[in-house]
Amino acid sequence: MKTVKYTAAFLILSGLSAPLWACSAMPPESSFIYSNDRNGDGMLNRSEWRESRADEGLAAKFTVGGRKVFRYLDKDRNGAIDRGELAGRIDYIEHPCAAWERAVRQMSDEAAAGQDR
């Protein structure tokens, strides 16, 4: 009976039920905009940009809130910065799913070690 439990745990954790064990995170550009977009339009206008902050866990390749940076990033000159204009310029320091993936890997390793006994 103990072997059946360990086998079931191993199969679940080893990826045979991957759709049940998945982590997804929004792209870092979306996370940055979502955190700073007060009016909910999916973009950052000049006012929102001036008050923007990169959340802990995000690394920006620019000075957040600066007027010159806003003009540089606003490629289409519509007075707002969207996800596409931030692409490749902001990233996660550590991906939000990294801790989850480590935990699942550890559970899988423990289940496999228990099955070897």
Q: What is the pLDDT of residues 92-103, one digit of tens each?
A: 998 888 888 888
Condensed to tens digits (0 to 9), the pLDDT of residues 42-57 reads: 999 999 999 999 988 8
Condensed to tens digits (0 to 9), the pLDDT of residues 18-40 reads: 445 678 889 999 999 999 999 99
The proportion of the chain whose per-residue pLDDT surpasses 70, expressed as a percent, equals 80
| C-beta of residue 91 within 8 angstroms of C-beta of residue 59 | yes
Q: Is the pTM of this model over 0.85?
A: no
| Domain residue ranges of the chain, discontinuous segments joined by + | 1-23+97-117, 25-96
60 in helix, strand or coil?
strand
Residue type, 87: A
Q: In CATH, what number does 25-96 get?
A: 1.10.238.10
| C-beta of residue 91 within 8 angstroms of C-beta of residue 73 | no
pLDDT exceeds cutoff 60 at 10: no
Q: What is the H or E stretch that residue 92 is in? A: strand 90-92
